């Protein structure tokens, strides 16, 4: 989810975009906007940047391992084909 500083910055930008009449009620509006945003973001099932980076690293390692295994399988298949050529 957003860190508190980013969330506060977002709230400030949204409240400053309101028409002047609403800015008088800024504290009330901020509280309601914050509650609405928190509720909406909570329903989105978001991950943190740290969680995303960890999973990206895991995926990169998995891709590297998969590539190495594919090369090993191809080499074994070629060696097997040389020892036992297909009968025609």
pLDDT tens by residue, 36-71 = 888 887 788 788 889 999 999 999 999 999 999 999
- pLDDT score, position 88: 64
Same domain flag for 42 and 55 = no
Examine the domain organization and report whether 22 and 37 are in the same domain: yes
Residues 27, 68, single domain; the answer is no
Q: Which helix (H) or strand (E) holds 72?
A: helix 49-83
Range of the domain at 21: 1-46
Residue 23 sits in the same domain as residue 64: no
**Residue 52 and residue 81 in one domain:** yes
Q: Are 37 and 84 in contact, with CB atoms under 8 Å apart?
A: no
The encoded tokens of residue 12 equal: 């400030």
Mean pLDDT within 71-87: 90
Q: Are residues 41 and 62 in the same domain?
A: no
Which of residues 71 and 12 earns the better pLDDT score?
A: 71
Number of domains in the chain: 2
The model's pTM: 0.50
Answer yes or no: do 22 and 36 share one domain: yes
């Amino acid at each position: 989810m957003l860190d508190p500083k980013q969330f506060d910055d977002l709230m400030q930008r949204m409240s400053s975009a309101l028409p002047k009449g609403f800015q008088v009620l800024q504290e009330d509006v901020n509280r309601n906007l914050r509650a609405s945003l928190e509720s909406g973001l909570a329903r989105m099932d978001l991950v943190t940047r740290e969680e995303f980076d960890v999973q990206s690293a895991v995926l990169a390692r998995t891709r590297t391992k998969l590539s190495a295994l594919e090369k090993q399988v191809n080499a074994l298949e070629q060696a097997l084909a040389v020892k036992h050529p297909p009968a025609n």
